[in-house]
Amino acid sequence: MLGRDLVLEAFRQYGVEYLFGNPGTTELPLMDGLVNYPEIKYILGLHEDIAVGMAAGYAQATGKPGVVNLHVAPGLAHGLGNIYDAYRAGVPLVVTTGQHDIRLGVQEPALWGDLVALAKSCTKWSYQVHRAEELPIVLHRAFKEALTEPMGPVLLSFPVDVMWQDVPLSPLPLTRIDQRVSGSREASRQAVALLRAAERPVIVAGDRVGRMGAIPELIRLSELIGAPVYQEHQSAGLNFPYNHPHFAGRFLPNGPAIHEALKEADVVLFLGVISQAPLLYFDKPLVQPGTKVISVDLSPWEIGKNMPADVAILGHPREVLAAWVEMLQAELTPADEGRCQKRREQLQQQQREREEAKARELAAVQEQMPLSPAVVMAELNHYLTDDVFVVDESVTTGRYVHRYLELRRPGAFIGLKGGGLGYGMPAALGAQLGRPSERVVAIIGDGSSYYYIQSLWNAARYNLPVLYLIINNTSYMILKGGMLTLNGVSAKQGAFPGMDLDQPEIDLVSVARGFGVEAQRIETREELKKALQHAFSERKPYLLDVVVDRTVKPYLA
């Protein structure tokens, strides 16, 4: 067995279905050996970051590791944007790179670089293999680390000479760590005591809630104690159903908004929360002094990271919550139940008020031209059946996505967490590969789509029926809104340097058709209704270029 064969055999034994990549000369040994492994399908991306994005979307949709192969230093550099996004979102990626023959590296040939150093800041573990005999341990460790919470990308650099070396070894069986721990009984009792005594409890649900299957237990807890549930800002998944009466919304990524949401709470439970800092500097604490804080997560780094926790539990969110629910059901008194019932009634009333407010807002913009994003999301909402998977990189339009879409199905949503644009277009393709019987709808801002618009070629080449809904305001609108919030010279003069995407305006319909994808420009609500009906009636890739309101409004971020 050659080194490259051992790598591919490990992939096969570890259940790898797809190898995403964009090959170069240093990857030729692996590509040559791939011919002998027809069960591993190679998915070609036209740019390395597209390959990474597809692998990440596949991993998020399936829970399996996404495996991607990149080309030496420039290829890895190209892929770092989406490796970073995957790192922030805790996506299990095994990133492999080709590398020059170790004997040549000292001469610093073209394309050579220190790949381990390049990837170190956005991977859990990075390593360059020196001898083929290292491969069994290295491959086993890479997959184990990627799949163990806190999950994330790992990097393996494969020099050409290592791939051609003979190795009398086989892959190691994969170790999977059972992390279903519930923390200490004493810590749980302290947490339950705080929740029982709370007058104004608030729960913040993080991405490890959805990813680790804890949503049913969280619903039960919130209903037992009558607590509102916020979703962490910049969430990568769905962590609480949006149509539940206790859902209070997804945090905006700004300090004042989070501070306002938590300022009246006497107990705050942070559950599997990864996004703990606002996007911009905020000089006040997010939680008021004196408020009791409970923090639960499987990553000790995230517990008490930016604020101290009164009760800190290292545990699996589902197991911890199940234990708490059992305790509360046994310990809640009639007086406790009375207080919780009042809170439940208040939350139901607040939900009715929110729904009435949304109805008024929609009524006010029904005839608006160009279209309001609220109308676009309201129309899309009619198609959110249990076989639709949503990928969101809408950025400015995100407030409408999370206000008007009734996202409710666990494991059927991907959001941009790291903030680096260019994730959504390819992630939608990977999600579609991972969920072939479902329909992926990708809501993408026009500015985001232009990063990797060539992802459409993959949709056509592999016949992936992703519906791309491009929300087109011909600008980096979130930045314009930020300029208005700054209220500086730019805002006073109405000038926004480097933020317009017109003159010429990009013809997305022609671009999509050039890549082999059917497309339509949408300017009216009637056109949108007909186009959505048509797109959902056929299983093929489709792009809708939806022209929306271009009015610049202040944006707090």
- State how far the alpha carbon of 496 is from the alpha carbons of 154, 370, 394, 483, 490, in Å: 39, 21, 20, 8, 6
N- to C-terminal Cα distance for the chain? 54
- For residue 295, CA distances in Å to 43, 141, 187, 323 come to 40, 29, 11, 15
Structure tokens at 122: 């956005």
Contact, 67 vs 20, CB < 8 A?
yes
Average pLDDT over residues 493-517: 95
For the chain, where do the domains classified as CATH 3.40.50.1220 start and end?
Answer: 185-351
Residue 553's pLDDT is: 87
CATH assignment, 3-164: 3.40.50.970
| Omega of the bond leading into 38 within 30 degrees of 0 (cis) | no
| Number of CB atoms found within 10 A of residue 235's CB | 27
Residue 275 has pLDDT above 80, yes or no: yes
Q: What are the Cα distances from residue 342, in Å, to 336, 347, 479?
A: 10, 9, 42
Residue 485 pLDDT grade (very low, low, confident, very high; cuts 50, 70, 90)? confident
Q: How far apart are CA 20 and CA 42, in angstroms?
A: 6
For the ranges 89-98, 281-290, 477-486, the one whose mean pLDDT is highest:
89-98
Residue among 451, 505, 455, 453 nearest 475 (CA): 505
Q: What is the mean pLDDT of the chain?
A: 96
Q: Establish whether the linkage from the previous residue to 497 is cis, with ω within 30° of 0.
A: no
> With 80 as the cut, is the pLDDT of residue 108 above it?
yes
Within the chain, which residue ranges are assigned CATH 3.40.50.970? 3-164, 365-547
Pairing of strands 388-393, 311-314: unpaired
Q: Do strands 467-472 and 439-445 pair parallel, antiparallel, or not at all (unpaired)? A: parallel
CA-to-CA dists, residue 285 to 36, 219, 231, angstroms: 58, 28, 19
pTM of the complete model: 0.96
Number of neighbouring beta carbons within 10 Å of residue 414: 29
Q: Which CATH class for the 185-351 domain?
A: alpha beta
Put the strands of the sheet holding 413-415 in their side by side order. 413-415, 388-393, 439-445, 467-472, 542-547, 518-522
Calpha distance 258→232 (Å, rounded): 10
**What's the pLDDT band for 140 if we cut at 50, 70, 90?**
very high
Q: How far apart are CA 75 and CA 88, in angstroms?
A: 20
Across the range 92-107, mean pLDDT stands at: 95
d(CA 384, CA 406): 8
Place 311 in a pLDDT band, splitting at 50, 70 and 90.
very high
pLDDT at 556: 57
Model pLDDT for residues 512-556, shown as the tens digit of each residue: 999 999 999 999 999 999 999 999 999 999 999 999 999 998 875
pLDDT, residue 557, reads: 43
Residue 80 pLDDT greater than 80, yes or no = yes
DSSP string, 189-237: HHHHHHHHH-SSEEEEE-HHHHHTT-HHHHHHHHHHHT--EEEPTT-SS
Residue range 37-46, pLDDT digits in tens:
999 999 999 9
Residue 41's nearest CA partner among 16, 58, 62 is 16
pLDDT (mean) for 494-511? 95
| Rounded Cα–Cα distance for residues 240 and 33 (Å) | 44
Write out the H or E segment, with its range, that includes residue 400: helix 398-404
Tell me how far apart the alpha carbons of residues 528 and 505 are, in angstroms, rounded to a whole number: 21
* Helix-helix angle 135-147:3-13, to 10 degrees: 30
Tell me the CATH number of domain 365-547, given options 3.40.50.970, 3.90.340.10, 3.40.50.880, 3.30.1360.30: 3.40.50.970
Beta strand 154-159 pairing with 125-128: parallel
Provide the percentage of residues in the chain whose pLDDT is more than 70.
100
Give the residue among 385, 380, 426 at the shortest CA–CA distance from 532: 380
pLDDT at 63 over 70: yes
